[in-house]
A and B are shown apart, each in its own frame.
Chain A
Amino acid sequence: MNILVCVKHVPDTETSVKIGADGKSIQTQDVNFVLNPYDEYAIEEALRIKEAKGGEVTLLSAGPENAKKSLRTGLAMGADKALHLVCPHQHDSLTLAQGLAEVIKTSSWDLVLCGKQAVDDDEAQMGVMLAQILDWPSVSTVIKLELGDGMATAHREIEGGIEVVETPLPAVITAQKGLNEPRYASLKGIMMAKKKEIAETPCSHSGSKIEVLDLSYPKARSGGKIVGEGAAAVPALIKLLHEEAKVL
């Protein structure tokens, strides 16, 4: 199996994000960037498939120079190779998907895995757009994946249940939390990752079909009142919810 995993370098979810001086992007100094959490599930799944069926796992990331850090993280987990599409500028997802698709088309793959969304822009559309541009089938938000001969069965999370989807390969699968438990990189893995080469490709796409006008903070919630302590405070709480907040 020749598997490609698309990954993104994003601010750690613990980050308290602040708006930058331009009002349109975030402050990046003192922000810890990490491999997008959903991409960890995608990498883990790829590694498990490789361990079961043989093959090779290649990582692909688009972004500025620091995207290489997340590629190193994935290599340390056990991926074999990494490609960096060097894109210093911001793009909309579709333009970026077109750029990634051009790189993907230069080789032949059995499967492309992506995280179901990146935790920075929360768009959750790269994987499916990529599939359409490649003219491949896709299954998104997958929590279980079984591979057969030239096909896959994927369990896709929907409201109130699970869709069991069968798809021929190659296909794009996007990983949801629950798919697996990602491994930690071993010390040996980290050492080996340093020696693995990251191949660079320049990004030929420029511009974005979406213009960012501004960023703002959501309305802050003001701390409310402590109604009381212990079970004795329950009647007072119920009264407030019923009469003041009018939600019961």
Chain B
Amino acid sequence: MKTKNKKAAEGLVMAFDVDPRRKVMKKKMSRRSFLKRSAVAAAAATLPLGLVEISWGQSDKRNFTFAYISDSHLTHIKGANFVRNFDKGLKKAVTECNFMSPKPDFVVYGGDLAQLGKREELDHGLEIMSRLRHPVKWVIGEHDYYLDLGQYWQEKIGRLYYSFDHKGVHFVVLNSILTYDSWINKWKSPQERMSNMARLDNPHGSPFMVGDKQIQWMKQDLSKVSRQTPVVVMSHSPLYKIFKPWNFWTDDAEKVQAVLKKFDKVTVLHGHVHQILYNQIGNISFEAMMSTSWPWPYPVSYIKKANQVPRLTVMMNRADPFHERDATGWSILNLDDGRVTNHYKLWENKDRILKYDKKLGYPIDMEYQAPATRIPPQMHY
């Protein structure tokens, strides 16, 4: 078992929808060939998904379904005005979630409900989320936190880290977007702190961390859990290290991973990266959730007026940016005997399913393995 895990880690089983670190592709593609391939992809995308009626077997009591909505970044403009595009993403996800059949046991909100941590934004988000017909488990993101250090969140929503048991699975929710006190206290105002944390490629930024206090709590919490019990950890940032300038990163990730090492089945579900992304490190499977607001990476492409998306310093490829909901979405997760099958609901695109492969010992994309069948990135806008 151990060697298999090690092997998987060495292979670094990562599948980026688009690699954020990859620069512009070398090979040029004509519009015609792009359209041709798109047409093929579009034809495949019309396969009826139906009403997400996934026929999971119900024999095992540990087999259940929940939904995951994340990274809505509701942005307050002025008065009762919010950025329309981002409102629409969350509303669409909530509407679709309500139609899930069978009903999910709960819905997880993965953090970054707000853009700049404002009360208006959190209230607005709670109002939209209140239309959900299912109970919600909340994870906080840095955009919810760095204005008032989570004060309003705790008043309105609840604790920043906690655990619960559901049908034989132990869930741990972490506040993984903490950082060094020296950084937190160096700003002139909470607004300045918030906007600096919101910026990518920020030379004055600071990496996320879970912190020793929380890790201690986690150790304590998990000491009561047997190693055979499946554990699902939900955090906003990935509990491993991907790309520091964008804080796709948790500074003390190794410490957290060490606490989880003794368990047979561990899955970390995280938001923050706004893209399909998965990995296996040792015994831990990592899976990113889609955002409802915008995809990372994205290009500076179709901009008629300021689009309110944070400015990026690196140009990126993505699928057709004409459609606001393109490359965004949400997830339906099924837990079968402690392993996650992640059904990505991808708007304007074909849905994808990520499933843990017991033989290989890591999650695999059920369809998008062969490079020849991948949708090529768009080379022009």
Asked if A and B are interacting partners, one says no
Q: Residues of A with Cβ closer than 8 Å to B? A: none
Q: Residues of B with Cβ closer than 8 Å to A? A: none
